[in-house]
């Protein structure tokens, strides 16, 4: 049986450009530097047990990342969040470490925040117009799936939507984390055709919190 | 990172190349910094960060009080386009500040095909690319690295070249720049004149070159008592020299993502085609004890799971077994793999590989360089077919099924029989596998690779002609037709890149015109085959009235003044002439352990020690 430890961490600023695979290697090295002995797989090419809850795309920030690691029996995990944070690149900070009680598959909702930037002058009621768009009964977007592109209605998979501001719009919403997995790009994809004039010139998003099916915080 | 920069990063591949922020990057307080240095590597982040020289110089320069060294790499095509359209100039990765405001911009140049990247990076910085167009308000543009053993092709663009090891001389250059900065009215000319007195420094503007009617060099004329030749600098004691144990750990995959140890510099072998083996003489080693402790420290501090033992010929390290034992006992329980590139094809190598690769088994690669014993004697590569096959037998018996063999086509005196010899050698290796492989289920994978021989300065073959692109391709076809087994894969490198490399490697300062023209027509990242286009170069040569064949394909007269005679590596021309003669007779030259051949390089040690005693 693997002795598991769950790390909660944020990935912001310059670190948002570290890809998922590179992040795994970066974490592995930092854990080694921190003196944490990892459990390795058997076989021809042994690798440590490291698993990330929902791989984050490049360019997206997060304050609520989760990673499970398998520990060898003699691991030093005292004060791990502080020690490990001091051994990581800029923008990666470990906020908690604990023994996991729940499975990643219990994660259902993801709260995200974002800032939408517009280069041209926009109407004063832009935030309201955006709210209206995301209050529609049927919000069809085209999404990449295993079977190629397909149209899905995201309205049941997005809730508690908020848009505020004028020239720069702040956004907050809870979106489906798994089955289907939605990301900010899927949400922004709703701003096409007749809504294209509402689409920002640039937008930056961040994951804020994870929830289970009953909208309780997931740890 | 401001919004404009983030918008750019959203549009490019691998944005982590351009952000900095890695673990152990060095950030200094600008209010207590007098001299800012941009250490530019003229290739991508993944290539540059794999370079040990960069890590050594970064550590040494940042070790100086009130001096801050930052890293700069060549942007990929997509990033360059975004930077130019947004008006973003080249910046230091650590601070994000434009490097045109720095005091020194330093290039590490290790490959001729990166010359256009040097020009492009200067231009992207907003600095005039030509030295003659810059005054003392511009950063001092300096260059070091193995290409500076023939600095001439870049001499229109670079103010100052460092010849040889950079560890000691960089401090002297920075001290001079610091002194010069105090005098508000001092000129670039005065700074350069003073710099030419630093040992191992070559200032191209302090020399005039005259030419003969046939295009060869008539004379090199030093001005203002500039030294002739400029003798390379060496670090005489590697044990006490700086080793970057506590160095940057990148947050993205590199070409070589691992901790590295430098076992020794130089090479005892005298392979006649090899530039590094000659320019890095004499051999200087680190002690086994130093290496074991440096290796453990580097692994502990970085968290890497691989340690590479680097040198020009790792099998020649005197205490290799002891070194490996010392490292394995620490590495194995921690699942850390040792990697030993540059092993000779002898039995000892395979036994060693079996011993060190208990964690993960990598492939085996050997470089016989030539297919026949006759030609291997010509190049002084003292490897016999018997040695190679014995080694392969041990490897196959030990469970390896995959072997890579490297060769060059176009070595001096090569005949079609020598080329067919490559195929015969590969078949003999395959036959050995059939006889001795422990596990034949997965099949054998024997890979033969060839590249086109590029004659290099400061080698016994510096006078030789390169074979033409067409002739290389003919030889490739001959070899391809001679390979008759499916188990053998044959790959060949593009001869076009090798041709341009050959022009630049033995070029003179008249090539500056062509470099600029090639860069202007779009040549950059030429070391990447997907970016390289021969027509950038042929057009550039034509527009400057330069015949590339004069540089690449012409055999030099043995009394010709060579462009790189401005630089001395410590080995005299007579030595190279004798070696060339010996190559034609197929005579073996002993290695440094068997007996001294009086190449002259060891006198540099005395010179270095005298300097320390001053």
Residues of chain A with Cβ-Cβ distance to B303 below 8 Å are: 28-33
Q: What percent of chain B has pLDDT over 70?
A: 98
pLDDT of residue A149: 87
* Confidence at residue B397, expressed as pLDDT on a 0 to 100 scale: 87
Give yes or no for A90 touching B (CB within 8 A).
yes
Selection from B437, B436, B438, B407 nearest residue B424 by Cα = B407
What pLDDT band is residue B614 in, cutting at 50, 70 and 90? very low
Beta carbons of B323 and B292 less than 8 angstroms apart: yes
For B21, the closest of A21, A44, A90 (CB atoms) is A90
Cβ-based contacts of B305 with chain A (< 8 Å) = 28-29, 32
Question: Does residue A215 sit at the B interface (CB-CB below 8 Å)?
Answer: no
Q: Which of residues 442-501 of B touch A (CB under 8 A)?
A: none
CB contact under 8 A, A30 and B300: no
Choice among A30-44, B446-460, B565-579 with the minimum mean pLDDT:
A30-44
B77 interfacial to chain A (CB closer than 8 Å): no
Q: Distance from A144 to chain B by nearest Cα, in Å?
A: 20
Which tens digits make up the pLDDT trace of B267-283? 999 999 999 999 999 99
Count CB pairs under 8 A between chains A and B: 75
DSSP, collapsed to helix, strand or coil, labels residue A208 as strand
Closest residue to B23, CB basis, from A32, A88, A204:
A88
Average pLDDT, chain A: 93
What is the rounded average pLDDT of the residues B182-190? 88
What is the mean pLDDT of the segment spanning B200-209?
98
pLDDT value for B347: 62
- Is the pLDDT at B169 greater than 90? The verdict is yes
Interchain CB contact of B539 with A (< 8 Å) = no
Residues B109 and B43: their CA atoms lie apart, in Å, by 9
| Nearest residue, CB atoms, A22 vs list B9, B253, B361 | B253
pLDDT of B29 higher than 90 = yes
Q: What is the DSSP letter of B492?
A: E
The string of pLDDT tens digits covering residues B38-69 is 999 999 999 999 999 999 999 999 999 999 99
Contact A91 B21 (CB under 8 A): yes
Average pLDDT value for residue range A3-8 = 94
**How does residue B173 score in pLDDT terms, banded at 50, 70 and 90?**
very high
Report CB contact under 8 Å: B1, A90: no
- Give B237's contacts (C-beta < 8 A, 6+ positions apart): B284
Least confident of A75-89, B279-293, B344-358, B469-483: B344-358
Contacts of B341 (CB under 8 A, 6+ apart): B308, B309, B310, B314, B365
Contact B9 A18 (CB under 8 A): no
Q: Could you tell me the CA-to-CA distances from B463 to A37, B82, B216, B531 in Å, in that order?
A: 57, 44, 13, 30
Residue whose tokens read 């060869």:
B216
Position B186 scores a pLDDT of: 84
Interval A122-178: pLDDT, tens: 888 999 999 999 999 899 998 888 888 889 999 999 999 999 997 789 999 999 999
Residue B469: phi, psi to the nearest 5?
Answer: -60, -45
CA distance A34 to chain B (A): 9
Buried b (16+ CB within 10 A) or exposed e, B558-583: eeebbbbbbbbbbbeeebbebbbebb
Q: Is residue B146's pLDDT more than 50?
A: yes
- When the pLDDT of each residue in chain B is averaged and rounded to a whole number, the result is 94
Task: Tell me: pLDDT of A1 over 60.
Answer: no
Q: Is A135 on the interface with B (CB under 8 A)?
A: no
Q: Write down the pLDDT at residue B48.
A: 98
């Amino acid at each position: 049986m693997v002795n598991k430890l769950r790390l909660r961490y944020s990935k912001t600023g310059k670190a948002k450009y570290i890809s998922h695979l590179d992040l795994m290697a970066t974490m592995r090295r930092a854990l080694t530097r921190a003196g944490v002995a990892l459990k390795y797989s058997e076989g021809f090419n042994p690798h440590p047990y490291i698993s990330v809850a929902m791989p984050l795309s490049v360019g997206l920030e997060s304050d609520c990342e989760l990673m499970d690691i398998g520990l060898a029996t003699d691991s030093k995990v005292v004060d791990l969040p502080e020690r490990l944070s001091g051994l990581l690149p800029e923008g990666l900070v470990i906020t908690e470490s604990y023994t996991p009680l729940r499975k990643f598959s219990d994660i259902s909702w993801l709260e995200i925040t974002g800032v939408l930037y517009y280069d041209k002058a926009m109407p004063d009621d832009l935030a309201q117009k955006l709210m209206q768009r995301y209050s529609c009964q049927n919000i069809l977007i085209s999404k990449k799936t295993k079977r190629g592109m397909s149209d899905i209605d995201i309205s049941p998979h997005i809730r508690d939507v908020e848009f505020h501001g004028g020239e720069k719009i702040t956004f907050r919403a809870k979106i489906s984390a798994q089955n289907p997995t939605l990301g900010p790009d899927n949400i922004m994809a709703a701003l096409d055709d007749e809504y294209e004039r509402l689409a920002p010139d640039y937008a930056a998003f961040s994951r804020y919190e994870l929830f289970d099916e009953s909208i309780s915080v997931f740890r | 990172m401001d919004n404009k920069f983030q918008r750019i990063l959203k549009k490019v591949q691998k944005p982590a190349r351009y952000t900095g922020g890695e673990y152990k990057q060095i950030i200094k307080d600008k209010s207590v910094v007098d001299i800012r240095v941009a250490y530019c590597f003229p290739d991508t982040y993944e290539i540059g960060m794999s370079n040990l020289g960069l890590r050594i110089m970064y550590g040494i320069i940042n070790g100086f009080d009130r001096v801050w060294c930052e890293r700069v790499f060549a942007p990929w095509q997509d990033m360059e386009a975004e930077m130019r359209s947004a008006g973003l100039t080249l910046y230091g990765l650590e601070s994000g500040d434009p490097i045109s405001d720095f005091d020194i911009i330093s290039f590490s140049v290790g490959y001729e095909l990166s010359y256009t990247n040097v020009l492009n990076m200067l231009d992207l910085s907003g600095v005039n690319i030509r030295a003659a167009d810059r005054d003392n308000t511009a950063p001092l543009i300096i260059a070091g690295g193995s290409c500076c053993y023939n600095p001439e092709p870049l001499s229109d663009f670079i103010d100052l070249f460092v010849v040889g090891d950079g560890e000691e001389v960089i401090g002297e250059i920075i001290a001079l720049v610091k002194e010069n900065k105090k005098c508000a009215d001092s000129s670039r000319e005065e700074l350069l004149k003073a710099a030419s007195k630093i040992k191992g420094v070559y200032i191209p503007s302090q020399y005039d070159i005259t030419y003969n009617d046939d295009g060869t060099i008539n004379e090199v004329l030093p001005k203002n008592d500039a030294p002739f030749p400029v003798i390379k600098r060496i670090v005489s004691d590697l044990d006490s020299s700086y080793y970057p144990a506590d160095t940057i750990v990148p947050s993205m995959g590199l070409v070589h993502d691992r901790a590295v140890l430098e076992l020794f510099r130089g090479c005892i072998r005298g392979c006649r085609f090899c530039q590094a083996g000659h320019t890095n003489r004499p051999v200087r080693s680190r002690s086994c004890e130093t290496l074991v402790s440096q290796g453990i420290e580097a692994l502990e501090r970085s968290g890497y799971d691989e340690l590479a033992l680097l040198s020009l010929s790792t099998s020649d390290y005197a205490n290799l077994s002891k070194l490996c034992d010392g490292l394995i006992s620490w590495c194995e329980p921690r699942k850390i793999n040792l990697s030993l590139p540059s092993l000779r094809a002898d039995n000892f190598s395979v036994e060693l590989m079996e011993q060190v690769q208990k964690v993960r088994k990598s492939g085996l690669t050997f470089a016989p360089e030539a297919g026949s014993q006759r030609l291997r004697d010509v190049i002084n590569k003292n490897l016999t077919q018997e040695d190679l096959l014995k080694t392969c037998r041990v490897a196959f018996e030990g469970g390896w099924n995959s072997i890579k063999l490297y060769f060059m086509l176009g070595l001096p005196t090569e005949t079609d029989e020598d080329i067919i010899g490559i195929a015969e050698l590969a078949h003999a290796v395959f036959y050995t596998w059939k006889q001795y492989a422990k596990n034949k289920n997965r099949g054998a994978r024997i890979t033969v690779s060839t590249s086109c021989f590029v004659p290099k300065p400061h080698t016994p073959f510096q006078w030789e002609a390169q074979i033409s692109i067409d002739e290389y391709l003919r030889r490739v076809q001959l070899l391809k037709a001679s390979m008759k087994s499916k188990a053998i894969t044959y790959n060949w490198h593009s001869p076009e890149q090798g041709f341009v490399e050959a022009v630049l490697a033995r070029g003179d300062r008249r090539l500056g015109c062509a470099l600029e023209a090639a860069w202007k027509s779009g040549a950059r990242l030429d070391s990447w085959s997907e970016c390289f286009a021969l027509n950038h170069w042929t057009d550039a040569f034509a527009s400057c009235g330069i015949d590339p064949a004069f540089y690449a394909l012409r055999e030099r007269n043995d009394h010709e003044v060579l462009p790189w005679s401005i630089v001395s590596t410590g080995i005299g021309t007579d030595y190279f002439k004798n070696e060339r003669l010996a190559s034609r007779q197929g005579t073996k030259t002993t290695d440094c352990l068997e007996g001294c051949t009086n190449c002259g390089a060891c006198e540099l040690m005395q010179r270095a020690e005298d300097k320390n005693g001053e």
